[in-house]
Structure 1
Amino acid sequence: MICPDRFRDTTFVVTGAAQGIGRGVALRAAAEGARVLLVDRADFVAEVAAEAGEAGHAFVCDLETHAGAAAAMREAQRLFGRIDVLINNVGGAIRMRPFAEFEPVQIEAEIRRSLMPTLWSCHAVLPMMLAQRGGTIVNVSSNATRGIRRVPYSAAKGGINALTQSLAMEYGAAGIRVVATAPGGTEAPARRVPRNPEGDDAREQAWMAEAVSQVTESTFFKRYASLDEQIAPILFLASEEAGYITGTVLPVAGGDLG
């Protein structure tokens, strides 16, 4: 349900905005009155920005680097003069396999994918939010902090939960709120950029099936969420309606707290 004008005169940066949850958050924020910088390393993020109309602006960079995150925040400040809301949405398990089967380089890649973009983006935006004496950061974590076949990803998302709570405590007096959602399994259109560019062999496909089964059975509803069921809580936490909520990691996983 669209809430017209909820974000009028508000500026957003949404990372991972080219597809999935990030795309939905960016488009709905724009529909509700925000001006939005859509950030992704996939150049087709420009197509999503075009869907948002005059409210949408695209920026392509690699948020796995601090330089990329800093460039994105500078672009938002150039366009809007301030950043009211940062939605950190980059991440996603690359591989599904038992932990003992991960190679060290694969473990590092999972941490780099699912922790570092949020860590770097928070670090890059804080000076701007401190200067303007306020702002809101919404991190997209996961209930996969308890789950099978993706331990490095689970560790990365556990790091995001800790980051959320520690930043909230450290910067609350400066008027900065830091919150997170922890989505469970979510139905989404096929990815335009594959999760694992190398492809999954038969063993990995079997391990993924085990993970999907665990995620589904761990929910009270025995089903995946829709995209809308993940987008709405993120935008609630970004809104003034959640003005006295900070340091909270909200599970959105059909009862599975992770």
Structure 2
Amino acid sequence: MIFSGRFAGKTMVITGAAQGIGRAVAERAAAEGGRVLFVDRAPFVTEVAEAAEGETAAIACDLETYDGAHTAMASAVECFGGIDILINNVGGAIRMRPYAAFEPEQIEAEIRRSLMPTLWCCHAVLPHLLTRGGGTIVNVSSNATRGIHRVPYSAAKGGVNAITKSLAMEYAPYNIRVVATAPGGTEAPPRRIPRNPQGDTAEERAWMDQVVEQVTQSTFLKRYGTIEEQAAPILFLASDEASYVTGEVLPVAGGDLG
């Protein structure tokens, strides 16, 4: 369902916007009147933004670095004159395996992938929101803060929850809201660029099957969600309809609180 004009007059930066939940959020935000910067490290983010309805722009950059986050925010200001809303969607488990089976460099990669983009982008956007006199940050966390075979990812998303609550308290006096959703398992089309370019071993595929079983059985509804079911609450929290909501992490996981 499209709410025409809900984001009229708002400039929005949406990360991870080339694929999956981030793409759905960015396309719908633009259709609802927002001026939307699609951000992703995948170079095809530009074609995704160009195909979207509404006023859009795109930039490809690596948000695992502060320079990448700073470049994204500066691009939004250059294109649209400021920033009102940041939606931090970059993240996702690279591998599924028992914690004892993770190599040290794999643990570090999970933290870089699912914590640092949110940490860097929040830091990079704050001067722009302060200049604007307020704004909103929506972080996309996960209910996988409790789950099997992804302890480093769980740790990263626990960090996202902590960023959300602490930043909300610190910046409420400046009219900046900080909120998050915690998606559960979500059905999505095959990724054009996989999170694990090396591919999964047979053993890792078996571990993934165990994760799917655990996630499905942990929900009251006994199914994965859809991308649309994840995009809708993210955009609600980003909108003025949620103006009295801050510091909260909203589970969107069929009853599984993580």
TM-score (norm 2): 0.99
Distance in 1 (alpha carbons) for counterparts of 2:50 and 2:81: 21
The AA in structure 1 aligned to 2:21 is I
Equivalent position of 2:167 in the other structure: 167
Distance in 2 (alpha carbons) for counterparts of 1:162 and 1:110: 17
Equivalent position of 1:85 in the other structure: 85
Q: Any runs of at least 4 consecutive aligned residues in structure 1 with deviations exceeding 3 A, and if so which?
A: none
1:114-143 CA-to-partner distances (Å, cap 9, x unmatched) read: 000000000000011112210100000000
Helix, strand or coil at the partner of 2:82: coil
1:8-30 CA-to-partner distances (Å, cap 9, x unmatched) read: 11110000000000000000000
1:201-241 CA-to-partner distances (Å, cap 9, x unmatched) read: 11101001001110000000000001110000000000000
Structure 1: give runs of 5+ residues left out of the alignment.
Answer: none
1:83-111 CA-to-partner distances (Å, cap 9, x unmatched) read: 11100000000000000000000000000
Equivalent position of 2:230 in the other structure: 230
The AA in structure 2 aligned to 1:30 is A
Distance in 1 (alpha carbons) for counterparts of 2:132 and 2:55: 22
Identity of aligned residues (%): 72
Equivalence map 1:119-130=2 (5 Å):
119-130=119-130
Equivalent position of 2:212 in the other structure: 212
Distance in 2 (alpha carbons) for counterparts of 1:176 and 1:121: 15
Compute the displacement of 1:53 (Å): 4.1
Distance in 2 (alpha carbons) for counterparts of 1:39 and 1:239: 20
Distance in 1 (alpha carbons) for counterparts of 2:77 and 2:50: 20
Equivalence map 1:8-47=2 (5 Å):
8-47=8-47
Correspondence 1:152 to 2:152:
yes
Helix, strand or coil at the partner of 1:126: helix
Structure 2: give runs of 5+ residues left out of the alignment.
Answer: none
Equivalent position of 1:69 in the other structure: 69
Compute the displacement of 1:189 (Å): 0.4
The AA in structure 2 aligned to 1:159 is G
Equivalent position of 2:60 in the other structure: 60
Equivalent position of 2:184 in the other structure: 184
How much is the aligned-residue C-alpha RMSD, in angstroms?
Answer: 0.6
Distance in 2 (alpha carbons) for counterparts of 1:40 and 1:195: 13
Q: In the alignment, is the contact (CA less than 8 A) between 2:149 and 2:211 conserved in 1?
A: yes
Equivalent position of 1:251 in the other structure: 251
Equivalent position of 1:136 in the other structure: 136
Helix, strand or coil at the partner of 2:179: strand
Distance in 2 (alpha carbons) for counterparts of 1:47 and 1:189: 17
Compute the displacement of 1:80 (Å): 1.2
Helix, strand or coil at the partner of 2:138: strand
The AA in structure 2 aligned to 1:256 is D
Compute the displacement of 1:166 (Å): 0.2
Helix, strand or coil at the partner of 1:173: helix
Compute the displacement of 1:82 (Å): 1.2
The AA in structure 2 aligned to 1:234 is I
The aligned length equals: 258
Compute the displacement of 1:52 (Å): 1.7
Compute the displacement of 1:54 (Å): 4.9
Helix, strand or coil at the partner of 1:50: helix
Q: In the alignment, is the contact (CA less than 8 A) between 2:84 and 2:132 conserved in 1?
A: no
Compute the displacement of 1:37 (Å): 0.3
Helix, strand or coil at the partner of 1:188: coil
TM-score (norm 1): 0.99
Equivalent position of 2:107 in the other structure: 107
Q: In the alignment, is the contact (CA less than 8 A) between 2:169 and 2:247 conserved in 1?
A: yes
The AA in structure 1 aligned to 2:88 is N
